[in-house]
Amino acid sequence: MALLVEKTTSGREYKVKDMSQADFGRLEIELAEVEMPGLMSCRAEFGPSQPFKGAKITGSLHMTIQTAVLIETLTALGAEVRWCSCNIFSTQDHAAAAIARDSAAVFAWKGETLQEYWWCTERALDWGPGGGPDLIVDDGGDATLLIHEGVKAEEEYKKSGTLPDPASTDNAEFQIVLTIIRDGLKTDPTKYKKMKERLVGVSEETTTGVKRLYQMQANGTLLFPAINVNDSVTKSKFDNLYGCRHSLPDGLMRATDVMIAGKVAVVCGYGDVGKGCAAAMKQAGARVIVTEIDPICALQALMEGFQVLTLEDVVSDADIFVTTTGNKDIIMVSHMKKMKNNAIVCNIGHFDNEIDMLGLESCPGVKRITIKPQTDRWVFSETNRGIIVLAEGRLMNLGCATGHPSFVMSCSFTNQVIAQLELWKEKSTGKYEKKVYVLPKHLDEKVAALHLGKLGAKLTKLSKDQADYINVPVEGPYKPPNYRY
């Protein structure tokens, strides 16, 4: 795909797979709206006052149908938006087309190369001469990373005239990032500096991105305020847990049609994502074995009836392997060689380095047979046994299915909208410093409350007397900050 920016008749830029899918995308967006009461409530509550009037928002987040509803909520509140995906396989092309045609500048398609991926990220950040963005919606932190690396390189360049050297790293993806920055430096050596100066803040979606932000905060290198959306209860305890509980079996079934009942599934990691995955596999009739480093999470797994062992203990016996750790080097090629024929290996937790894809690709004599996109059988020459790797080791629920369903994403994305509103409202007050913040509990509770009606729930109301007895306001928040839910 030639990397040329296209324009709609109204002059808005985009690059998507197939604009003819826009109508299909629109139909699915309309379905999703019914399932996303939090976002629709935001439109109803804030739309009239246009709070984002004048705000330029860049998003780097899986360009799915659900994200389309988020984008159109931002635009309904007055924002101008440019968007890219944060994963090469996660774009739904019909969603991208509908948004590109109707609402925002989109640069995303399913099956980008890494080169294309970073080109899209650059485009989403490129607001032209007037500058921008004012705000970033980030997922995994790649947009934030690019700016931080850009600023670092510009400062070094200014100081020493040194350009970043892609050959300085082994990491293929980071080579691309450095190349982009290097090439950019030649034409505008203050591009990222201007960007960070304009930026009001970022709201970050995921555990992984948040971890990066806290590290930068700790190192004193964070360049702008950040709101940690991931740790809203209505995000991490919903999207991570219930979203994965839904989308892991969905991805497995779409990719392989395999019967889950009766199989042995190994879930590596028992955090929120792992809890959702283990529950899903158990419910589908699999026998689940958990691997963990953390004794508390391990004990939780045991209390739910899961066996806790190491990967080495079970690698030859299990049928399905899922990584959810947020760490790297979890399933190595040495493990894969010991697996049963047609064992399924996938990752739902993090980047593709949870699974040793590099080791697999470079394994002598290995043969890759693509069953269909995102479903590959890798056959080892020594044994003639194959394993099935989903989504090339990347997030299998987005690569092989459609990611989390609308309802749970409505919780996450309502947090995003509220975080963006908060950053924008306080842009000149100095309330937010170059630190990482979480949303206050009453907003978290509000997000939940917006989703109850759709499910027919009725809340009990505290009496004043009862509220006093447990020392909370009648209207909440009802729990101390550290409450674990």
Find the binding residues for its own copies in span 440-459 (CB under 8 A). Answer: 444-446, 448-449, 451-452, 455-459
Instruction: Give catalytic status of residue 240 as yes or no.
Output: yes
Q: Which of 46, 118, 224, 306 binds its own copies (CB under 8 A)?
A: 306
Instruction: Give catalytic status of residue 361 as yes or no.
Output: no
Q: Which of 257, 365, 429, 430 binds its own copies (CB under 8 A)?
A: 257
Residue 317 in the binding site for its own copies (CB under 8 A): yes
**Residue 423: C-alpha distances to residues 202, 225, 226, 231, 420 (Å):** 8, 8, 9, 17, 5
Residue entry with tokens 């790293």: 169
The DSSP annotation for 131-142 comes to ---SEEEESSSH
Q: Would you say 239 is a known binding-site residue?
A: yes
Residue 5 in the binding site for its own copies (CB under 8 A): no
Q: Which of 162, 259, 383, 431 binds its own copies (CB under 8 A)?
A: 259
Residue 171 in the binding site for its own copies (CB under 8 A): no
Q: Which residues contact 176 (CB under 8 A, 6 or more apart)?
A: 114, 115, 118, 166
Find the binding residues for its own copies in span 374-393 (CB under 8 A). Answer: 377, 388
Binding region for its own copies (CB under 8 A) out of 48-56, 102-110, 399-407, 427-435: 399-407
Whether residue 477 is preceded by a cis peptide bond, meaning omega within 30 degrees of 0, is yes
Residue 173 in the binding site for its own copies (CB under 8 A): no
Q: How far apart are CA 225 and CA 23, in angstroms?
A: 38
Instruction: Give catalytic status of residue 41 as yes or no.
Output: no
Whether residue 51 is preceded by a cis peptide bond, meaning omega within 30 degrees of 0, is no
Find the binding residues for its own copies in span 141-160 (CB under 8 A). Answer: none
Beta bridge partners, 273, equal: none
Q: Which of 117, 242, 413, 432 binds its own copies (CB under 8 A)?
A: 242
- Closest to 389 (Cα-Cα) out of 399, 381, 325: 399
Q: Where are the alpha helices (DSSP H) in 205-305?
A: 207-219, 233-236, 244-256, 272-283, 295-303
Instruction: Give catalytic status of residue 90 as yes or no.
Output: yes
Instruction: Give catalytic status of residue 171 as yes or no.
Output: no
75's torsion region: left (phi>0), alpha (psi -120 to 50) or beta? alpha
Instruction: Give catalytic status of residue 159 as yes or no.
Output: no
Q: 136 φ, ψ to 5°?
A: -125, 135
Q: Would you say 256 is a known binding-site residue?
A: no
What is the C-alpha end-to-end distance of the chain, expressed in Å?
47
Q: Which of 97, 233, 267, 389 binds its own copies (CB under 8 A)?
A: 233
Q: Output the six-digit token pair for 88.
A: 């090469």
The DSSP annotation for 307-355 comes to EE--HHHHTTT-SEEEE-SSSS-SB-HHHHHHSPTTEEEEE-SSSGGGB
Find the binding residues for its own copies in span 102-121 (CB under 8 A). Answer: none
Q: Which is nearer to its own copies, 156 or 173 (CB)?
A: 173
Q: How far apart are CA 214 and CA 196, in angstroms?
A: 18
Say if residues 91 and 106 touch (Cβ distance below 8 Å): no
Binding region for its own copies (CB under 8 A) out of 44-52, 78-86, 181-189, 291-299: 291-299
Q: Would you say 219 is a known binding-site residue?
A: no
Instruction: Give catalytic status of residue 247 as yes or no.
Output: no
Say which of 60, 66, 85, 410 is annotated catalytic.
85
Say which of 94, 237, 350, 451 is annotated catalytic.
350
Q: What x/- string results for residues 26 through 55 when contact with its own copies is judged by CB under 8 A?
A: -xx--xx-xx--------------------
Q: Which of 223, 401, 417, 419 binds its own copies (CB under 8 A)?
A: 401
Q: Would you say 404 is a known binding-site residue?
A: yes
Instruction: Give catalytic status of residue 230 as yes or no.
Output: yes
**CA 83, 372, 322, 146 torsion-angle sign:** negative
Q: Which is nearer to its own copies, 51 or 477 (CB)?
A: 477
Bind-site residues? 64, 139, 205-208, 235, 239, 271-276, 292, 348-350, 397, 404
Bind-site residues for NAD(+)? 206-208, 271-276, 292, 348-350, 397, 404
Bind-site residues for substrate? 64, 139, 205, 235, 239
Q: Which active-site residues does the annotation give? A: 62, 85, 90, 139, 205, 230, 235, 239-240, 244, 350, 404, 412, 416
